[in-house]
Structure 1
Amino acid sequence: MAPPTSIVPDSEHRGLLGLLPQRARDLVQLARFDRPIGAWLLFWPGAWAIALAGHAFDRWDLIAWFALGAVAMRGAGCVYNDIADRDLDVRVARTRERPVASGRVSLTVAWVWLVALCLVGLVVLLQLNRLAQIVAMCSLALVACYPFMKRITWWPQAWLGIVFSWAAPVGWPAATGSLGLPLGWLYAGAIFWVLGYDTIYALQDIEDDMRIGVKSSARALGRHARAGVTAFYLIAIALWGMAIWSVRPEALALVALAPVAGHLLWQVAGLKPEDGADALMRFRSNRFAGLLLFLACLVVGTTSQA
């Protein structure tokens, strides 16, 4: 296995980030603005819901607000996670140089930064209708509990799936003013998608997690990690198929899922569980998987309104 420092350095000083003053650099890193993959993954389920509901074009402004909200709330989630996990992060090679764990950012500054990011999220929340606002607020308790799940259950990635897919049950009522069956299938599929890609991500930390006693789906699956991720992705594809079928019950509509299905199967076909760099590359490729499903939802949602 590659040394942890070659997997993904937690302190990057190249490009624009390297030009920033130290405090600004620390805050950018604390919110992971230098690593937009998490914002993409948080954003896509909301965009899927809006597109599948048939409102991708007439509510492009809503998609833009969701993009801003994804950046802000993913940043807030990272700050909160680093505050809660500072005692664990300092014991893991990949995370010990994070701003809070390393001591470069104090807890007081981290909490202030967290509040500031949440205020941006509040601005986005106020753009939504009442039902979408209520659904969005229901996620707060789940988000607050997430950092502690790795200490409690072998499946914290499943909890992350519930939390990180929440934009879908917010996006659908934000676009339509109501809840619907397609949303349920779409959200359930997103949960299994997250469970799959975050299991891949967790492969990077298996050795450190074993040493410090942190639980994960990667550890739970062990040598069956590839088979487990394959099962999660197949379930996700099946559930997304149900979502599309409930919007447009035609076999041809399901063909729209072929590109994303092919991409997910590519991820697991060549996955090397013992290679952290490979796991990271395949995890990051899910931003493209999200785009492919968005295009599928866009085609099906738009044509179903015609």
Structure 2
Amino acid sequence: MTAVSHLPDADAANWVDRFAPVALRPWLKLGRFDRPTGIWLLMLPGWQGIALAGAMDRQWPDALLMLKVFVGAALMRAAGCAYNDIVDRDFDAKVARTANRPIPSGQISVKQAWAFLAACALVSLAILLTMNLLAIALGVASLGLVAAYPFMKRITWWPQAWLGLTFNWGALLGYAAATGRIEWPAVLLYASGIFWTLGYDTIYAVQDLEDDALAGVKSSALRLGSAAPKAVLGFYVAAFVLALAAAWVGGLGPLFLPPAALFGAHLSRQAARLDVGDGAAALALFKSNSLAGLMLVIALAAGMWAGPASSI
């Protein structure tokens, strides 16, 4: 089957369709490399955990560790997307936004997709094995969350909550990789991320309201309906408060607050602009969370300045 120029939730000018060799494009699209927002959203919690750990020790985040998390997140996101598409291939064929993905469109077979998944996972494992034992254990434990995620939309209206548990696991892993332990600030940061994801993935699900209803797939956006904007605001308030709590318990300095305020303002703006009848605008709001998550990384890193006596 002839490949589509670009998929509906990818930018028309994405680098895969513009620059990648034609033979590689289905593989890169299987791993969602034409839609890098997901890489950022999986990677940023890891960076946040590393930044929190560094700030608590009054140090800059470990740059090499952040690079490892970036590469590992890109590969594990690719593996997770391939797994999700293998499991959801019949549903994807019924949804306009996903029907032309490589597996349902016949560009890549299920067997080939499994091979792609295994290759990405093995390289990610090699990166994980360079970290301490606690980080390795957390990385292995995350596979249970990843494996269960594609089935959540069949059994609950809240698959977005499960995605939150999965995507923000990196906050615990990044903190553990930097410190060799798990402490309350990291747990609070993880909880913040869960609510953040619950908000932004509800926004993302607005695109598929009609198709999901026809296909019998559940989502928080379908469950909430017209109440979605208010619910997203509630999720985001919880995310912001828990991020503040993580910084407070971690003894971060007051320079955490200005970029954290920008993070909170960005989230509130998304909720205010969400329109359940406008899928295209919802996609743009969803993508803006790469910037929101980076704001929180900067806030956490900035918290390294000033000692405990002047902490927030």
TM range (shorter): over 0.9
Match of 1:118 in 2: 121
CA drift of 1:9 comes to 5.0
Q: 1:14 to 1:46 in 2, by over 3 A?
A: closer
Match of 2:278 among 252, 258, 275: 275
**In the alignment, is the contact (CA less than 8 A) between 1:233 and 1:264 conserved in 2?**
yes
**In the alignment, is the contact (CA less than 8 A) between 1:132 and 1:170 conserved in 2?**
yes
CA drift of 1:86 comes to 0.1
Match of 1:35 in 2: 35
Tell me the distance in 2 between the aligned counterparts of 1:14 and 1:268: 27
Match of 2:289 in 1: 286
Q: 1:11 to 1:285 in 2, by over 3 A?
A: closer
TM-score, normalised to structure 2's length? 0.91
Q: Which runs of 5+ in 1 are unaligned?
A: 1-5
Tell me the distance in 2 between the aligned counterparts of 1:305 and 1:124: 34
TM-score, normalised to structure 1's length? 0.93
Amino acid at match of 2:78: G
C-alpha RMSD of the superposition: 2.3
Deviation per residue, 1:213-265 (Å, 9 max, x gap)? 10000011111000010000000001001001011277775444201001101
Q: 1:106 to 1:305 in 2, by over 3 A?
A: farther
Match of 1:179 among 163, 182, 186: 182
Tell me the distance in 1 between the aligned counterparts of 2:203 and 2:110: 30
Q: Quick check: 1:205 aligned with 2:208? A: yes
Tell me the distance in 2 between the aligned counterparts of 1:131 and 1:105: 36
* Worse-matched range after superposition: 262-271 or 19-28: 19-28
Q: After superposition, where does 1:77-116 map in structure 2 within 5 Å? A: 77-116=80-119
**In the alignment, is the contact (CA less than 8 A) between 1:244 and 1:254 conserved in 2?**
no
Tell me the distance in 2 between the aligned counterparts of 1:14 and 1:249: 38
CA drift of 1:21 comes to 4.0
Match of 1:157 among 157, 160, 174: 160
Match of 2:3 in 1: none
Tell me the distance in 2 between the aligned counterparts of 1:49 and 1:96: 36
* Worse-matched range after superposition: 132-141 or 6-15: 6-15
Task: State the structure with bigger RCO (CA 8 A, min sep 6), 1 or 2.
Answer: 1
Q: What SS class does the counterpart of residue 141 from structure 1 fall into?
A: helix
Q: Percent identity?
A: 48
Q: 1:273 to 1:140 in 2, by over 3 A?
A: same
Q: What SS class does the counterpart of residue 127 from structure 1 fall into?
A: coil
**In the alignment, is the contact (CA less than 8 A) between 1:75 and 1:117 conserved in 2?**
yes
Tell me the distance in 1 between the aligned counterparts of 2:124 and 2:139: 11
Match of 1:3 in 2: none
CA drift of 1:126 comes to 1.0
Q: What SS class does the counterpart of residue 155 from structure 2 fall into?
A: coil
Q: After superposition, where does 1:123-272 map in structure 2 within 5 Å? A: 123-248=126-251, 253-272=256-275
Match of 1:25 in 2: 25
Q: 1:292 to 1:13 in 2, by over 3 A?
A: closer
Amino acid at match of 2:17: L
CA drift of 1:23 comes to 3.1
Q: What SS class does the counterpart of residue 76 from structure 1 fall into?
A: helix
CA drift of 1:162 comes to 0.1
Amino acid at match of 1:226: P
CA drift of 1:120 comes to 1.4
